[in-house]
Structure 1
Amino acid sequence: MTPLAAIIARQIRASGPITLAEYMETCLLHPAHGYYSTRDPFGAAGDFTTAPEISQMFGELCGLALAQSWLDQGSPAPFTLAEPGPGRGTLMADMRRAIRVAPGMGKAAEVALIEASPHLRGVQRERLGQVRHLDTVEDLPQKPLFLMANEFFDALPIRQFQRVETGWSERVVGLEGEQLTLGLAPPVDLPRAGELGEIYEICPQAPAIIEAIASRIATHGGAAIIADYGGWNGSGDTFQALRNHAFDDPLAHPGEADLTAHVDFAPLAAAAIRAGAVASKPVHQGDWLRSMGIEARAARLEAAGDAGAMAALHRLTHADEMGHLFKMLAIWPETAPPVPGFVALNPDADHA
Structure 2
Amino acid sequence: MMGDPATPVRLDRFMARANAAYYGTRDPFADFITAPEISQMFGELLGAWVAVTWQGMGAPTPFVLAEAGPGRGTLMADALRLLARVAPACYAAARVHMVETSPRLRDVQAQALAPHADPVAPVWCDAVADLPPGPMILLANEFLDALPIRQFVRTARGWDERSVAGEVFVTAPATDLPADGPPATRDVPEGEVLEICEGALAIARQLGRRLAQGQGAALFIDYGYDGPQWGDTLQALCDGRPAWPLARPGMADLTAHVDFAALGVAARAGGCATWGSVTQGAFLSALGLFARAAQLARNQTPEVARQVSEAAQRLAAPDRMGGLFRVMAMASPGITALPGFEGCSPVAPVASGMEKGG
Q: C-alpha offsets along residues 240-279 of structure 1, whole Å, 9 cap, x if unaligned?
A: 0012332111012211111000000012112221222210
| Residues in 2 aligned to 1:218 and 1:186: alpha-carbon distance in whole angstroms | 38
| Residues in 1 aligned to 2:93 and 2:322: alpha-carbon distance in whole angstroms | 33
Give the gaps of 5 or more residues in structure 1.
1-6
Helix, strand or coil at the partner of 1:81: strand
Give the gaps of 5 or more residues in structure 2.
178-182, 351-356
Give, in angstroms, the shift of residue 187 of structure 1: 4.8
Equivalent pairs, count: 330
Pick aligned residue for 1:262 from 257, 261, 272: 257
Counterpart check, 1:244 vs 2:239:
yes
Q: C-alpha offsets along residues 128-181 of structure 1, whole Å, 9 cap, x if unaligned?
A: 135211111111111100111000000000000112232211011013xxxx21
| Residues in 1 aligned to 2:232 and 2:141: alpha-carbon distance in whole angstroms | 22
Helix, strand or coil at the partner of 2:322: coil
TM-score when normalising by structure 2: 0.88
| Residues in 2 aligned to 1:213 and 1:113: alpha-carbon distance in whole angstroms | 16
Give, in angstroms, the shift of residue 84 of structure 1: 0.6
The code of the aligned residue for 1:195 comes to P
The code of the aligned residue for 1:344 comes to S
| Residues in 2 aligned to 1:250 and 1:304: alpha-carbon distance in whole angstroms | 46
Pick aligned residue for 1:115 from 92, 97, 100: 100
Contact kept in structure 2, 1:39 and 1:119, CA below 8 Å: no
Aligned to 2:8: 17
Residues 1:247 and 1:338: Cα distance change in structure 2 (over 3 Å):
same
Give, in angstroms, the shift of residue 77 of structure 1: 0.6
Counterpart check, 1:295 vs 2:290:
yes
Aligned to 1:161: 152
Counterpart check, 1:171 vs 2:186:
no
Once structures 1 and 2 are overlaid, which stretch shifts more, 17-26 or 204-213? 204-213
Aligned to 1:273: 268
| Residues in 1 aligned to 2:269 and 2:159: alpha-carbon distance in whole angstroms | 27
Aligned to 1:75: 59
Helix, strand or coil at the partner of 2:200: helix
| Residues in 2 aligned to 1:21 and 1:269: alpha-carbon distance in whole angstroms | 21
Counterpart check, 1:204 vs 2:198:
yes
Pick aligned residue for 1:181 from 143, 168, 175: 168
| Residues in 2 aligned to 1:321 and 1:193: alpha-carbon distance in whole angstroms | 30
Contact kept in structure 2, 1:166 and 1:187, CA below 8 Å: no
Pick aligned residue for 1:152 from 143, 156, 164: 143
Q: C-alpha offsets along residues 63-121 of structure 1, whole Å, 9 cap, x if unaligned?
A: 11111011122210110000010000000101111223224111111100111111111
The code of the aligned residue for 1:36 comes to Y
Aligned to 1:3: none
Pick aligned residue for 2:215 from 212, 215, 221: 221
Contact kept in structure 2, 1:146 and 1:224, CA below 8 Å: yes
Counterpart check, 1:63 vs 2:47:
yes
Aligned to 1:344: 345
Give, in angstroms, the shift of residue 214 of structure 1: 3.1
Give, in angstroms, the shift of residue 126 of structure 1: 1.4
The code of the aligned residue for 2:95 comes to E
| Residues in 2 aligned to 1:344 and 1:103: alpha-carbon distance in whole angstroms | 30
Contact kept in structure 2, 1:66 and 1:223, CA below 8 Å: no
Residues 1:284 and 1:169: Cα distance change in structure 2 (over 3 Å):
same
Contact kept in structure 2, 1:218 and 1:277, CA below 8 Å: yes
* Aligned residues: CA RMSD: 1.9
| Residues in 2 aligned to 1:323 and 1:264: alpha-carbon distance in whole angstroms | 17
| Residues in 2 aligned to 1:118 and 1:109: alpha-carbon distance in whole angstroms | 23
Give, in angstroms, the shift of residue 196 of structure 1: 2.0
The code of the aligned residue for 2:96 comes to V
Residues 1:214 and 1:186: Cα distance change in structure 2 (over 3 Å):
closer
Counterpart check, 1:311 vs 2:310:
yes
| Residues in 2 aligned to 1:196 and 1:345: alpha-carbon distance in whole angstroms | 34
TM-score when normalising by structure 1: 0.89
Aligned to 2:354: none
Helix, strand or coil at the partner of 1:230: strand
Contact kept in structure 1, 2:236 and 2:244, CA below 8 Å: yes
Counterpart check, 1:89 vs 2:73:
yes
Identity %: 46
The code of the aligned residue for 1:137 comes to V
| Residues in 1 aligned to 2:299 and 2:40: alpha-carbon distance in whole angstroms | 14
Counterpart check, 1:230 vs 2:224:
yes
Give, in angstroms, the shift of residue 216 of structure 1: 2.7
Contact kept in structure 1, 2:56 and 2:337, CA below 8 Å: no
